[in-house]
Every structure is written in structure tokens, then in C-alpha cells.
Structure 1
Amino acid sequence: MGMWIVHIPAIEHQVGITHAVLGWLLLFLGGGAFTGMQVCGALADRFGSRNIVLAGGALCSATVVLPGLAASPWALAAALLALGFGNGCLDVSMNTQAVQVERGYGRPVMSAFHAVFSVGGVIASLIGARTLSWDWRPATTLTAVAVTGVLITFALVPGMLPPERPSPATTPPRQTDSTPSPPPSPPKAPAPKRRTPSQVWALGVLALLLMLCEGVANDWSVLHLKDVLDAPAATAALAYGGFATAMTVGRFVTDRVVGRFGRVFVVRYGAAFGALGLTVASLSPWVPLALFGWTVFGIGLSGCIPQFFTAAGNVDPESSGANVSKVAGLGYVGMLAGPAIIGPLTHLVPLNLTFFLPVAFCVAAAVSAGILRPAHRKTTRPEPARAEA
């Protein structure tokens, strides 16, 4: 995905479209990703996340070459739709697999996975910068990336975890003791599969709010320094650089914090810290202080989103993929909505004042962080009835 982003200007020139047309075409990428997430979440539960990672990884890798081959806006739209679908499939399936790995690993590791994802973006930017300096055509570079991605996918997937199944040791008690309610309760899982638990929707809304904030930083941090504080272009670019670096470093550290203080602590104080950083950035009259604010904003947000994926995957392990897909899908909507919301607001108030909307979203996430606590399972209540029986 990083290689696609790096080649956006070259592909835009190759197809012969304006920024405005590109903005509309990117909706096909978002729509394809959202569809892929919803389709493959249920498939991951049915066939195992490992199998869907194989399909999603191969599809995402293979389709990344399509934008480089596009010669017309409609061809680019179809290419972005396919790439988005593959990306959505891989996004949900690999996060579902990560939830399973974390469950078996015994300690939090989800944030580290997301940190390595960020490192992938850095590597892509370096490789893309080099190949572009050599005047390689986008199709050439993206074909090499596609082949490499497919080979890596097929090499790594066999080492992933198979689908979780009830252990045989647990099934005999369920058959010999038909009266206890805890053994029969797992078969009631089909009801949650049809009706998503309210906790999953709440987690999805919080993911939407905070990923919208992340989208604001991706799309508006550089423009903020350039247009509001009159910073030179090179200096303004440091706003996103500071934010992205803080996100990556923060994710490598977050797992230790989660292990010691818990997920609620990370989201509550991370979102509050992010609100503080963005407030400083938006009100600062000085470029260095604004850069500091964007960096603090990145540190605050860095560990929040992975916690929503883990919490959603653990609400009901048998519907882990479907639940993660809903949270990821809503979060992706938030990422796309950030530019769409902030842009129109700039017609009413200065750009820096529009940032108080994401500040409010951070505060709302901090206040609502308790939703990450595991729901109390009702398996403990029937024990008196079991004793009476």
C-alpha cells in the first residue's frame, strides 16, 4: 500500500487526471476496502484467518500492479476497486490472526504488529523514492512489488496459526453433563453471529472517531503549518513526519504499557494525551511548538486503535473475524471522513480551529474507554443452579 501511495503523483500524470478527479477515484479504493473487510471477516470465521490471509495477501499483492497499468480514469477506478478489496481482505484477516496469536502468546503484542505495518510504509517510501529517481515506470516497480508480495505471502502463511477449534478434552463433559449451562452456552454463538454484540458496535464507533483523528493528521498537518503558520514546505513536511514517527515508536512501546496497566488505561490516557497535543498544535503561534503538538498527538493516538481490534476479537472468539471486520470497517470510514469533514469546515472557520472537532472526538474516546473492559460472562451465574441440580 505504501508503494501505491508513493506512486500516486506519477500515476495521476500517466492517466492524465486532475487532483479533483483523483479525489473521487480514491473513493473506489475506500469502497473496495470496506467491502473486502465485510466479506472476509465472515469468511475468516468460517475457514480460518490463515486461509483468508493467504487469499488476501496474494490478492492485495497482485492487484497493486493494476494502477500502474491504468491508462484511463475508468481503468484506474477499476484498479483501485480491486486493490481496495484485496487490502480490505488482508487487513481484516491479518488482524484476526493477530488476535489469535496474542491470545495464545500470553501477553499484549497487537500494537507491535501495527508498528511493523508503519515500518513497512517507511520502507516503501525509501524504495519508491529510489526507483522514481531512476525513472522507472510505475508499472515496472509495482510489478516487482506484486511478485515479491505474492512470494512472501505463500512463504509465510504456512507458519501461521490454524483455526481455533474446541479441544476434544472439553467435548466429553459437554456430552456427559447435559444439565450444566456453561457447556451448552458456547453453541449459542450463532445468535451473536447474526446479531452483533452492542460492545462491538461501541468499539467500532470509538475506532471511527480516533481513526478520523488520524486521517486529519495524515491530510491536514502539513497544510496547517504551511497555510496557517507560513512555514516553508520542507519545514511543514516535518509535521506529518513527527506524527508518523511518534505513531511508530509509540506502538512499539504500547504493548508493555498494556501489559502493566491494561487496555482501558492506554486508550483513556492516550486519547487524552492526543487531545492535549492537537490543542497545542492548533493554538500555537510558533512552528516549533506546533511541531511538538503534532508529535504529541501521534504519541497519544499510537496505541489506541490496536486495542479496539483486540477487544473486538475477544468479545466472541467464534465470531472474531466478523467482529474485527465491523470495527475495522467503521474505523476505515472514519479515516476517509477526516478530510471530507475538515475541508467544508474551513469555509466557516480557520483551519486550525477546525481541529477542535477531532479534539472533541479524542475527549469522547477518553471518557468512553471503559467499553474496552471485557463483558461479564454469564457462565458464572448458572453455578448456583448447577449446585442445586
Structure 2
Amino acid sequence: MDATNRIATAIRARWAVGAVFFVNGFLTGSWAPQIPVFLTRLGISEFTLGLLILLFGAGAITAMTSCGPLISHYGSRPVVRWFGAIGAFGLLVVAAAPNLPLAALAMFLFGGLIGGMDVAMNANAVEVEKRLGRAIMSSSHGFWSLGGFAGGGLGGIAIQTYGHLPHAAAVTAVALVVMAWALPRLVAEPKALAHEHHKFSLPKNPLIYLIGVVALFSMVPEGAVLDWAALYLQQELGADLATAGFAFAFFAGTMAIIRFLGDAVRNRFGAVTTLRVSSLIAAAGMLVAGLSPWPWLAIAAFAFCGLGVANMVPIAFSAAGNQPGTSAGAGMSVVTTMGYSGLLVAPSAIGFVGERTGFGPVFIALSGLLIVVCLMAGLARTADFAPAQPAE
């Protein structure tokens, strides 16, 4: 009976952590269609918007680097609860910011809440994997992409119909309802494990940092689509606001579909082959999006790119967490921080370049980063592992 209860608890926790991933993606995806309104209502340039996005990334990286010691001391469950409960209000604070200084502060706080929640929920997903004795990382990221699809797809229509503040308030309400169900059902790590890993140090294995480069180059295109695709469609391809919101929505939607299939795909073909083929698909989609003269062709290309990007980051995370001679926590902390800097910080530099060259050439150049990932795919061998059986 005890074993049955443990499995039942782990299954509930699996759905609970998936719901947290969904909320994180929903908040992030709902930000994408807010960006064109954010730009116009504050009367700022793409350069200034790039600085604000940089502040978002700085807040996220600050929180992510602080989460390692917090998780080590308290465990992932309390940290998810702290960041998740407060993070539900992040988008509303940004949408309500009346001027540039307050918008800058709001962006830093929003980024910190999203980033801290992200690290903690990934750590909690690892604990659920241990309880279940099987991988759930790809499908957990699938819930994130599903949330991004819902947020991006509905956001543009909601903003155009009701306005940006009612949209942000509705997003907050949905996030709070889902969190109220999910947070009590999360599992906690054994206390002994937290004390065992209390002292944190950076790994000495150089392969960890090369895998971090794979994660970085995989997530820079994702960040570019999140922060700049809507503006690219609206300003350069002539799309309306509702249509522009579909760029990230379709990208996240195809990512969600493939991520839910990701563990089975990787088991069938192996991590190296899956990463290599995925990076080539993503590169082709990004290239066509940058060359497209029509909004809906660009949207379709971004969706195709999402098919490839979907499994790249989960594979990199698994490779880092299973690197011989390096603790899973140390490997994950380095690779997640390097990877998420591509999602959260690099888009600010993309904005600086895009303001001068247009975003089409930027997306073309980003396809080159995905080719580099293809060339580095051999580093993913350690992602092919047999999950440990759950303890009796």
C-alpha cells in the first residue's frame, strides 16, 4: 500500500509540475503580443525596448543564479511556491507600468520571477523523474510550450478586442487558479539530499560548458521569436496585431506537440541523431522565416522551426544532468543558466541589430547558430540513459 501511495503521489506531482510549466509558458507567451502595445504606449524605440528586454533577462539571470543555494537549502517545492505565487502578477505589473522608469523596474521584477520559477520547476521535475523512475523532462517542457501557445495565440486577439490591461488581468487570474491547484500537489526532495548538496561549486568538466553552448545556441532563436517575431510581422511584413501574435503562438504550439512525443522519439532514435535532425529542421524554418515576403509564410516557417527546436533544450539538459563525474545539480545549474541567457538576454542584442538591419536578416543569421548545434550534436551522448528504478 505504501508503494502504491508513493506512485499515486508521484503521478499527482507529475501533473502538478506540468501545470507549473504551463503557467510559466502562459505568462511568457502572453508577454509576446503585449510587446507592440508596450512599444507604442510608452513611445520608445526598438533600441530602448531592447534595453528593457535586457533588464528582463538580467532579472531572470539574477534570480536563476540565486535559486541554486535556495533550492539546496529549502528544496525545490518551497521555491516553486514562492516564485510561482508572486510570479502570477508579473505581466500585470508590466502592463500597468505608466512610464519608462517604472516599466524598467517592472521588467526586471517580471524577469526575476519567471527565471526563478523556471529553475525551481525544472529541479522539481527532476525529483518527480526520480520518484517515477522515468523521464518526464521533454513533456514537462511540452506543457511550457502549450502555455506559450495559449498565451501567444489568445493574447493578440484579447488585446485587440479588450485592451492590454484587461488582457493582463485575465492572464493573472488564469495563472492564480492553476497555481492554486498545482502548488499543494508538488513533491519535496528528501531533507537529507538537500543537506548533502548544500555546498555548491562550479563543475570542472569542460564538456558541461560545451553542452551549455548547445543550450545557448538552441535558445537564442527561441528568445528571438518570443520577443521580436510579432514586431517583425507587424512592421516589416504588414500584419495586423492579431495576426502578429500567431508567430510565437504557432512556434510554441508545434514545440508543444513534439515535446509531448520527445521522450519516445529520443528513445527510438537516440539523443545524438534526434538533436542533429532537430537542429537542421529548426535552421531551415528560421531561414525561410527570415526570407519570407508574406506574414503567413513566416508564421508557417516559425511553426516548422518550432518542430526542430522542441527537443533540443531537453536533450541538452539531460546531457548535462547525466554527465559522468559531475553532480546533476551542478551540471544543470550551469547549462540552464547558459541556455536561458540565450532566451532572456540575447534578444536585447538582437533588438539593437534588428533596429538597424531589419529582423529578416537577423533570423537568417540565427539559422547559422542552429547549424553549429548540429555540428556539436555528439555531445548529447550522455542524454541516452536508463532511468533509475524508483526506490522500494
Please tell me the TM-score bracket, short chain as reference: 0.7 to 0.9
The amino acid across from 2:179 in the alignment is: T
Query: How far does residue 276 in structure 1 lie from its aligned partner after superposition?
Result: 3.7
Per-residue displacement from partner, 1:326-376 (whole Å, max 9, x unpaired)? 32222222233256258538968x865555543332222122222223399
Give the equivalent residue in structure 2 for 1:252: 260
Cα distance in 2 for partners of 1:338, 1:141 equals 24
| 2:87 is aligned with 1:40 | no
Give the equivalent residue in structure 1 for 2:57: 30
SS of residue matched to 1:83 = helix
Give the equivalent residue in structure 2 for 1:64: 91
The amino acid across from 1:99 in the alignment is: V
Q: 1:136-155 residue pairs with structure 2 within 5 A?
A: 138=165, 142-143=168-169, 145-146=171-172, 149-150=175-176, 152-155=178-181
SS of residue matched to 1:163 = coil
Query: How far does residue 134 in structure 1 lie from its aligned partner after superposition?
Result: 5.8
Give the equivalent residue in structure 2 for 1:324: 332
| 2:377 is aligned with 1:369 | yes
Among 193, 206, 210, the alignment partner of 2:218 is 210
Cα distance in 2 for partners of 1:117, 1:328 equals 15
The answer to whether the 8 Å contact 2:318/2:382 transfers is no
What is the number of equivalent residue pairs in this alignment?
A: 353
The amino acid across from 1:247 in the alignment is: M
- Pick closer, same or farther for the CA change 1:76–1:198 going to 2, 3 Å: same
Query: How far does residue 54 in structure 1 lie from its aligned partner after superposition?
Result: 0.8
- Pick closer, same or farther for the CA change 1:272–1:48 going to 2, 3 Å: same
Give the equivalent residue in structure 1 for 2:315: 307
Cα distance in 2 for partners of 1:116, 1:354 equals 28
Cα distance in 1 for partners of 2:380, 2:244 equals 36
Among 97, 102, 105, the alignment partner of 2:129 is 102
Query: How far does residue 70 in structure 1 lie from its aligned partner after superposition?
Result: 2.1
Cα distance in 2 for partners of 1:286, 1:9 equals 19
Among 48, 56, 62, the alignment partner of 1:21 is 48
**What 5-or-longer segments of structure 2 have no aligned partner?**
1-26, 385-392
Give the equivalent residue in structure 2 for 1:200: 208
Query: How far does residue 116 in structure 1 lie from its aligned partner after superposition?
Result: 1.5
Give the equivalent residue in structure 2 for 1:272: 280
Query: How far does residue 256 in structure 1 lie from its aligned partner after superposition?
Result: 1.3
The answer to whether the 8 Å contact 1:308/1:372 transfers is yes
Cα distance in 2 for partners of 1:287, 1:72 equals 31
- Of 330-339 and 84-93, more deviation after overlay is shown by 330-339
**More relative contact order, 1 or 2 (CA 8 Å, 6+ apart):** 2
What TM-score do you get using the length of structure 2 for normalisation? Answer: 0.73
Query: How far does residue 86 in structure 1 lie from its aligned partner after superposition?
Result: 0.9
| Identical counterparts, % of pairs | 31
Cα distance in 2 for partners of 1:95, 1:262 equals 22
Query: How far does residue 244 in structure 1 lie from its aligned partner after superposition?
Result: 3.6
RMSD: 3.9
Per-residue displacement from partner, 1:25-83 (whole Å, max 9, x unpaired)? 22211110111111112322332111211111112113433223322211111111111
Query: How far does residue 307 in structure 1 lie from its aligned partner after superposition?
Result: 1.7
Among 225, 228, 233, the alignment partner of 2:239 is 233
Among 157, 179, 183, the alignment partner of 2:183 is 157
SS of residue matched to 1:108 = coil
- Pick closer, same or farther for the CA change 1:371–1:123 going to 2, 3 Å: same
Per-residue displacement from partner, 1:65-109 (whole Å, max 9, x unpaired)? 322332221111111111111111101011111122234433332
SS of residue matched to 2:134 = coil
**What 5-or-longer segments of structure 1 have no aligned partner?**
168-186, 377-389
Query: How far does residue 199 in structure 1 lie from its aligned partner after superposition?
Result: 3.1
Query: How far does residue 158 in structure 1 lie from its aligned partner after superposition?
Result: 2.8
The amino acid across from 2:187 in the alignment is: L
The answer to whether the 8 Å contact 1:312/1:320 transfers is yes
The amino acid across from 2:63 in the alignment is: G
Query: How far does residue 238 in structure 1 lie from its aligned partner after superposition?
Result: 6.4
The amino acid across from 1:159 in the alignment is: R
The answer to whether the 8 Å contact 1:274/1:299 transfers is yes
Give the equivalent residue in structure 2 for 1:181: none
The answer to whether the 8 Å contact 1:224/1:352 transfers is yes
